[in-house]
Structure 1
Amino acid sequence: MADLDFNVLFLCTGNSARSILAESLLNQLGQGRFRAFSAGSHPGGRVNPFALELLEKNHFPTGNLRSKSWDEFAQSDAPQLDFVITVCDNAAGEVCPVWPGQPMTAHWGIPDPAAVEGSDDAKRRAFVDAMNQLQRRISTFVSLPFHTLDGLKLQQAVREIGKTA
């Protein structure tokens, strides 16, 4: 695993918007050093069309995105996870499966753009806001000095990212 250093799972309840955005963003911004996945505790079964539209418009990968259960990542043949990051408050409060590899965990709560009511323009603005916040956090995450931080300091740094806007 020369160029690929870390597997990261982003969790949300429905796995249709925020975790999907985070998966695509990290797979692009991580420049091959990270492999991102997303899942939900109660997946809706489809990716929100506003999430796909926004990612495509900004030239982020969408080809492999799908709404899936977090149970896929608790199986013995699942990728060994280094980080599990919740991006919605509901998922953060749920009892998660036991993840193979004992990954570091963090919570980066983002308001749910899929919950916004109103015009399509209002919904699109909510998705842009969520994506911008995730992009700032993921940019900070990928720039951490992973190989120089001990486990405790790395865990603290990843959790601190969730406290920034």
Structure 2
Amino acid sequence: MQEQAQTVLFLCTGNSCRSVISEATFNHLAPAGLKAISAGSHPAGQLHPRAVSLLASKGISTEGYFSKSWNDLPVTPDVVVTVCGSAAGETCPAYLGPVTRTHWGVDDPGHVVGTEEEIDTAFERTYGIIRARIEAFLALPLAGLANDKAALKAELDKIGRITT
């Protein structure tokens, strides 16, 4: 990628759980020059309390994070990653800008119904998938892919198939 800071937008519908877990985890792991933001097409207006607790348990700060609309982005992202899952016929919003787009679908743990243990397990699984994908993203030779958008997209699409 270029010398300037690169911004990755994690996008879903509510911007309260998966996209925020992605944003916070990415920013926790990323080197200088890479930054994540998150947004939703129909923001919930608040972060999911279990997502905040999960991130805190991993030592990842959520200070300054909030549920926001994609209409309020502070910058135009370089890469957009949709994280909507297929459960309950969920439809991902389509970001319409001149950016590299990829889909890393993961089901929303905020919609899991069950025992406390089952819900916690769903959140841990979601975090594990997201973290593995982010680690794979950060391991890419980004400088080498900077001038080959098709190759970058192909690599990002492969990462979206990582399940653990």
Fold in common (TM above 0.5): yes
Corresponding position of 2:160: 162
- Structure 2 residue 147 is matched with structure 1 residue 152: no
Deviation per CA, 1:15-51, whole angstroms, max 9, x where unpaired? 1110000000100111223111111111111100100
Residues 67, 91 of structure 1: CA spacing in aligned structure 2 closer, same or farther, 3 A cutoff?
farther
Q: Percent identity?
A: 35
Corresponding position of 2:109: 113
Tell me the secondary structure at the aligned position of residue 147 of structure 1.
helix
1:52-131 equivalence runs, <5 A: 52-73=52-73, 78-89=74-85, 90-92=90-92, 94-96=93-95, 98-99=96-97, 102-131=98-127
Letter in 1 for 2:133: R
Counterpart-to-counterpart distance in 2, 1:112 and 1:120? 16
Counterpart-to-counterpart distance in 1, 2:65 and 2:81? 17
| Post-superposition offset of 1:91 | 4.6
Letter in 2 for 1:162: G
Q: Report the TM-score, using the length of structure 1 for normalisation.
A: 0.88
Q: Report the TM-score, using the length of structure 2 for normalisation.
A: 0.88
| Post-superposition offset of 1:4 | 6.0
Question: Is the 1:4–1:35 contact (alpha carbons within 8 Å) kept by the matching residues of 2?
Answer: no
Counterpart-to-counterpart distance in 1, 2:67 and 2:91? 15
Runs of 4+ in 1 over 4 A off after TM superposition: none
Letter in 2 for 1:147: A
Corresponding position of 1:8: 8
The answer for unaligned runs of 5 or more in structure 2 is none
RMSD between aligned residues: 1.7
Counterpart-to-counterpart distance in 1, 2:32 and 2:3? 6
Corresponding position of 1:25: 25
Corresponding position of 1:49: 49
Corresponding position of 2:132: 136
Counterpart-to-counterpart distance in 2, 1:128 and 1:20? 14
